[in-house]
């Protein structure tokens, strides 16, 4: 998610390990010694053969929650023959891995019901929508046969918008900021201001870099660049194109603060390339569901209580208006911590307290279908994200079916207070507000071409009640990493990749590994 770097830092601070991670940045010497590898923590899935030597047998496991963590746990345990049952309160699996298509309906905690009217082929990923190359999520796509395609997380032709000003393209903003930064640093270097920290060789190399990086030439002055883009691009014959007017002055460029949007794409979880499953993020949940087996998944099954004993665990749940119970050897609880905190259990007050210490965070998204792909046809924006200081925060252009007739834009993806402001509105009022804001960037066609919309306020989503959750303190976080008797906890909230499926998968693997090890050695 766009603020991943921020949320990660916030998370690291919140669990008190920021200094530890920072201390790992020990200088190792010359460039080139850094190994080119990118792995996820090692994992060996449980296998049926694991039981041959130990004489033990796969056990029965009840899994609370059919989101990515719950499905992944059932999938991995299933490889060794564990008898898993997944209890999912919603009518479909996937949890926040939710893709909205025409005909899908959702009713929120306030009783608002929406039914999507998107045209066939169009969809809206209401939850996770992008996958970094290093994330284990891609490994599951490969293993499960879910085809992937690029997700456009950064686009030089997407826009940066400040309320009250006309938007500019990222390419223009970058050319100007990099131009002036290079000019300033070249000037300071030329004047000898950095002679105490730069050798003559350093200076020469730095200046050569800056001349190229900022397109400032040997005069060390930024006066514009083809990199800013053109209003009419170069053509045939003597048509050299019409460069955009500008650049603005250095003061104007820094006053506009456009540079604040550059670092998002440098972060370890946001840098391009990124990917999405072909046809919607829920293709992952669908593939996991098929691999687990639908007969192992109880839908519409809301957990009522968890009772752990020395030899087993009993979970009661309500399904189809009827209270039922299931007793298993182990339980893996993957509900959001704030939801799990409300489930009666006998696991101890410290567990309740630890679960309650997590605080859910609000985020909201709206999918808006347009009758034409004006962003491609008129603005030549093929996917990517426009950033704005309006409360919609950002507008996403679709990364699939380029050149199709219609397309679904994400009209806002906002967080915290801004998300809560939208979530307090009816779905119709959210759409109206998103349109009102988007018109400031894209003009009246943002209203006139709109065919329909569907919004999700995660804090108002039954059985989810938040976009993601942060740990309140490190002790609580640590406590839930250990099983409470025969009950294990898992989810992105117990990982260093909160709000990412990567975290859900790895947390599920961790719980599965611990459970399996226990069964093998008990």
Applying the rule CB under 8 A, the residues between 495 and 514 that interact with a copy of itself are: 495-497, 502-503, 506-507, 509-510
CA 38 to CA 480: how far, in whole Å? 28
Site string for a copy of itself, 462-481 (x = CB under 8 A): ----------------x--x
Q: What is the nearest approach in angstroms of a copy of itself to the Cβ of residue 419?
A: 23
Token reading at 380: 């030549």
**Cβ neighbours, 10 Å, residue 417:** 10
The residues that bridge with 242 in the sheet, in sequence order, are 232
Binding span for a copy of itself by CB under 8 A among 73-81, 86-94, 139-147, 310-318 = 139-147
Interaction residues for a copy of itself, span 51-90 (CB under 8 A): none
The HSE-up count of residue 291 (CA atoms within 13 Å, CB side) is 23
At residue 248, what are phi and psi to the nearest 5 degrees?
-65, 170
Alpha-carbon 260 to chain mean position: 20
Nearer to a copy of itself, 263 or 426 (CB): 263
The DSSP annotation for 259-320 comes to GGGTGGGGSTTTPSPEEEETT-THHHHHHHHHHH-GGGEEETEEEEEEEE-SS-EEEEEEET
Q: Minimum CB separation from a copy of itself for residue 516, in Å?
A: 15
User: Rounded to the nearest 10 degrees, how much is the dihedral formed by the CA atoms of 89, 91, 93, 98?
Assistant: -110
Tell the smallest beta-carbon distance from residue 152 to a copy of itself (Å).
6
> Is 280 in contact with 122 (CB distance < 8 Å)?
no
Shorter beta-carbon distance to a copy of itself: residue 23 or 349: 23
CB contact at 8 A, 337 and 401:
no
The window from 33-41, 114-122, 320-328, 444-452 that contacts a copy of itself (CB under 8 A) reads 33-41
**Binding to a copy of itself by residue 25, rule CB under 8 A?**
yes
Looking at residues 230 to 259 of the shown chain, list those that interact with a copy of itself (rule: CB under 8 A).
230-259
Q: Which one of residues 13, 47, 107, 260 is an interface residue with a copy of itself (CB under 8 A)? A: 260
Q: Any idea what the Cα angle at residue 452 is, between residues 450 and 457, rounded to 5°?
A: 120
Of the pair 192, 416, the CB lying nearest a copy of itself is at: 192
The encoded tokens of residue 171 equal: 């390419």
CA distances from 185 to 197, 215, 504 (A): 13, 13, 44
For 12-23, give the DSSP string: HHHTT-HHHHHH
With CA atoms as reference, report the closest residue to 391 among 369, 371, 362, 354. 362
Identity of the residue, 312 or 449, whose beta carbon is nearer to a copy of itself in the bound complex = 449
Encoding tokens for residue 202?
A: 């350093």
Per-residue binding letters, 261-300, with a copy of itself (x by CB under 8 A):
-xx-xxxx--xxx-x-------------------------
CB of 137 to a copy of itself, least distance (A): 11
Instruction: List the interface residues with a copy of itself, window 2-21 (CB under 8 A).
Output: 5, 8, 12, 17, 20-21
Report the DSSP beta bridge partners of residue 332.
63, 488
Range 153-192, binding a copy of itself (CB under 8 A):
154-157, 159, 162, 165-169, 171-172, 174-178, 181, 184-185, 187-189, 191
Does residue 198 touch a copy of itself according to CB under 8 A?
yes
Instruction: Report in angstroms how near the CB of residue 479 gets to a copy of itself at its nearest.
Output: 11
Question: Which 206-235 positions form the footprint of a copy of itself (CB under 8 A)?
Answer: 206, 208-210, 212-213, 215, 223-224, 226-235
Quick one: DSSP state of residue 397? E
Nearest approach, Cβ of residue 505 and a copy of itself (Å): 9
Binding residues for a copy of itself, rule CB under 8 A, total: 147
Q: Which of 54, 57, 103, 193 binds a copy of itself (CB under 8 A)?
A: 193
In whole angstroms, how close is the CB of 503 to a copy of itself at the nearest point? 7
Cross-strand pairs, 64 = 87, 333
Distance of closest approach, residue 487 Cβ to a copy of itself, in angstroms: 16
Tell me how far, at minimum, the Cβ of 426 lies from a copy of itself, in Å: 32
Least spacing, CB of residue 301 vs a copy of itself, in Å? 26
Question: CA-CA distance, 15 to 474, in Å (whole number)?
Answer: 4
Rounded to a whole number of angstroms, the minimum distance from the CB of residue 207 to a copy of itself is 10
Task: Tell me: cis bond preceding 247? Omega within 30 of 0 counts.
Answer: yes
Select from 46-54, 341-349, 446-454, 493-501 the region that touches a copy of itself (CB under 8 A). 493-501
Q: Does 355 bind a copy of itself (CB under 8 A)?
A: no
**Terminal Cα-to-Cα distance of the chain (whole angstroms):** 41
User: Quick one: which of 202, 323, 417, 436 contacts a copy of itself (CB under 8 A)?
Assistant: 202
**One-character DSSP codes across 409-435:** EEEEEEEHHHHHHHHTS-HHHHHHHHH
């Amino acid at each position: 998610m766009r603020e991943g770097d921020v949320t990660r830092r916030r998370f690291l601070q919140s669990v008190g390990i920021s200094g530890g991670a920072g201390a790992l940045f020990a200088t190792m010497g010359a460039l080139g010694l850094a190994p080119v590898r990118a792995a996820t923590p090692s994992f060996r899935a449980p296998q049926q053969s694991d039981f041959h030597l130990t004489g033990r047998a796969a056990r029965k496991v009840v899994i609370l929650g059919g989101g990515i963590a719950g499905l992944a746990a059932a999938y991995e345990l299933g490889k060794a023959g564990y008898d898993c049952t997944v209890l999912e309160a919603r009518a479909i699996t996937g949890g926040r891995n939710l893709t909205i298509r025409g005909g899908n309906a959702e009713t929120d905690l306030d009783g608002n019901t929406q039914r999507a009217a998107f045209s066939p082929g169009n969809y809206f990923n209401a939850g996770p929508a992008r996958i970094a190359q290093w994330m284990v999520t891609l490994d599951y796509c490969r293993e499960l046969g879910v085809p992937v395609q690029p997700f456009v997380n950064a686009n030089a032709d997407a826009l940066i918008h400040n309320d009250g000003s006309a938007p500019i393209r990222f390419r223009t903003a970058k050319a100007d900021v990099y131009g002036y930064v290079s000019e300033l640093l070249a000037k300071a270097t030329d004047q000898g201001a950095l002679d105490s920290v730069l050798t003559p060789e350093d200076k020469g190399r730095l200046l050569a870099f800056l001349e190229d990086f900022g397109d400032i030439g040997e005069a060390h002055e930024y006066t514009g660049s083809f990199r800013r883009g053109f209003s009419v691009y170069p053509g045939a014959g003597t048509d050299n194109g019409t460069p955009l007017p500008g650049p603005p002055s250095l003061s104007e460029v820094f006053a506009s603060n456009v540079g604040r949007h550059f670092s998002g794409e440098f972060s370890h979880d946001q840098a391009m390339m990124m990917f999405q499953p072909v046809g919607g993020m829920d293709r992952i949940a669908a593939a996991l569901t098929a691999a687990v087996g639908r007969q192992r998944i109880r839908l519409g099954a809301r957990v009522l209580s968890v009772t752990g004993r020395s030899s087993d665990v009993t979970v009661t749940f309500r399904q189809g208006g009827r209270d039922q119970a299931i007793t298993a050897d182990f339980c893996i609880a993957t509900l959001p911590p704030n939801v799990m905190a409300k489930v009666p259990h006998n696991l101890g007050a410290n567990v309740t307290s630890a679960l309650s210490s997590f605080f859910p965070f609000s985020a909201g998204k709206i999918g808006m279908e347009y009758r034409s792909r004006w962003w491609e046809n008129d603005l030549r924006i093929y996917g990517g994200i426009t950033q704005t200081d309006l409360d919609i925060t950002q507008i996403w252009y679709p990364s699939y079916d380029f050149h199709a007739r219609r397309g679904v834009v994400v009209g806002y993806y906002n967080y915290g207070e801004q998300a809560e402001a939208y979530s307090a509105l009816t779905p119709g009022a959210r759409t109206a507000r998103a349109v009102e804001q988007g018109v400031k960037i894209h003009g009246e066609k943002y209203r006139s071409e709109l065919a329909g919309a569907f919004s999700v306020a995660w804090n108002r989503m039954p059985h989810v009640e938040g976009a993601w959750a942060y740990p309140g303190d490190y002790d609580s976080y640590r406590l839930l990493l250990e099983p409470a008797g025969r009950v294990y906890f898992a989810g992105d909230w117990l990982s260093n990749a909160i709000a990412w499926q990567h975290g859900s998968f790895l947390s599920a693997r961790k719980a599965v590994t611990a459970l399996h090890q226990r069964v093998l050695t008990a």
